[in-house]
Structure 1
């Protein structure tokens, strides 16, 4: 099958790929982008499709059906193979980059805990108990409400005002907002 009056056997590999890309590259790229959702991955698929077309120039010349159909089928098969390969391997996990913000020493953690505990002393007993239930004991609002014997809405309200008061105490604005 001649491609638009052009015969693959006579052309060298570079000419074949150039002609196929000029004629079908745009639709191949659009198709691969739609399937992968990633332009860079789609460009890799188009490149691999054209390499396979170069390797199978005889199939393009003697095959049945359209060249574009063959190229789109090859692109779809490449994408399918990549998806299957990714699914069969365990997910790769990157090592977290060490940064000053994420690497705290133990002493800093102790100082932070002491600072928060000291600031909590400036809160009212009601606000302090709600924060202890929610943040230190890890209870839900419903569990904290049951434990404290108050309504869930009251827990939400007290936690809101307790956090505001705690922030004020930590910023050195005093404890009048906490009472």
Structure 2
């Protein structure tokens, strides 16, 4: 076996293809070239990109995949290349990583909605139902009883202030409040509310 033939057998497949192509001047089919590029360069390219992305394997695999897709799109140019393809692949991968970093810096940081899901929130439905029941029970009271409850409990006035507003003696306000509360308790119990 000749010495130069032995050296040619030790060279990577891409170099052998280039050597054969230079003899015959026939281009390597695109699909075969992509298989050769993947077989020879995907592993080292992944190792290189892993260092660039601080060991994030998923991100590194995405970058390598995008790099190989770009190589496939430019396979006609790579097929005519005379040197190694690896510098081109490394440059493309590095640029993809840089572009990804820049785009993450340009857009606002995403917020994880998970903490909001466990945050307790006030149940407004119970409050609304209570107010509806209370309003309905107030409707069952006489006008006089309803007036004193509205003035004393809902508007927060004292007995004397309510008496002055309603134009009745303070003793009458106390008496009406007593009977209004008793009637209100019965009206709420009729609606299933324990008062």
Relative to the length of structure 1, the TM-score reads 0.49
Higher helix fraction (1 or 2): 2
Structure scoring higher RCO (CA < 8 A, sep ≥ 6) equals 1
TM-score (norm 2): 0.46
Kindly name which structure, 1 or 2, has the bigger radius of gyration based on alpha carbons: 2
